[in-house]
Structure 1
């Protein structure tokens, strides 16, 4: 019979470590590190419907000049921020004119991110048929 020494028995882990290292590199290289960008075209709709299901929502409108409105009352961004902060809505519903400046949309998005954890609903404005 052969007498085995402990020195003769060993497992070479080098190849296993190489494979694991290559898998780690593969998964790191395939991950996406950038935030997704959203291109926003605000269409109008001829079939838009009013929906009162979101009673916990705060409704804001932005016209073509970028002015903010609540119930047809023109507000500045600071006034709008104070109202949203006081009412603490669960979400913000935004009626956005297709010709409104992008900065107005970004301002409302920032308010939604700050006060409603980013819950912003953009609704289409019903287009008048001619």
Structure 2
């Protein structure tokens, strides 16, 4: 009798996948947009050296950037003469990689090295580019 009025008590055999596809598509768009791509914070032109070696950034290294104006950054934080010791005391046993712009004032380099010497930190590496022949 239910068949006469258009009612069907049997199981639905048609599954509409359109809403599922829409949700998956929206999630894909969300994750593509929300993914942050790592970009260098500062434009640093490293000096060239004949003895430079290609080395990959290793986990646990403290990266220190010095721009052309002599500003010192690490992890996006600006360090000055007043708080440079905070930078030197971070992860003392790890290697500190110094990325200095070739136009950076030498005073910034001396400030970093002197601060490291105050706490007997000897594991500092200066990054360079390979010299083109």
Provide closer, same or farther for how the CA distance between residues 99 and 66 of structure 1 changes in structure 2, counting only shifts above 3 A.
same
Aligned to 1:87, the other structure's residue is in SS state coil
Q: Which residue of 2 aligns with 1:52?
A: 57
Give the alignment partner of residue 103 of structure 1, picking from 103, 107, 127: 107
Deviation at 1:83, TM superposition (A): 3.3
2:84 touches 2:115 (CA, 8 Å); kept in 1?
no
Deviation at 1:59, TM superposition (A): 1.3
* Structure 1: gaps spanning 5 or more residues: 1-41
Q: Which residue of 2 aligns with 1:74?
A: 78
1:91 touches 1:112 (CA, 8 Å); kept in 2?
no
Q: Which residue of 2 aligns with 1:28?
A: none
CA–CA distance in structure 2, aligned partners of residues 125 and 77 of structure 1: 27
Deviation at 1:119, TM superposition (A): 2.1
CA–CA distance in structure 2, aligned partners of residues 125 and 118 of structure 1: 22
Note the 1:18-33 alignment, pairs <5 A.
Answer: none
| Runs of 4 or more consecutive aligned structure 1 residues displaced over 6 Å after TM superposition | none
Deviation at 1:94, TM superposition (A): 0.1
Provide closer, same or farther for how the CA distance between residues 71 and 56 of structure 1 changes in structure 2, counting only shifts above 3 A.
closer
Q: Deviations over 1:40-87 (max 9, x none)?
A: xx6248x9856123x343211100110001123322133231132253
* Structure 2: gaps spanning 5 or more residues: 1-45
CA–CA distance in structure 2, aligned partners of residues 78 and 104 of structure 1: 13
**Greater share of helix:** 1
Is residue 2:94 matched to residue 1:94? no
CA–CA distance in structure 1, aligned partners of residues 74 and 120 of structure 2: 17
Name the Cα RMSD after superposition: 2.9
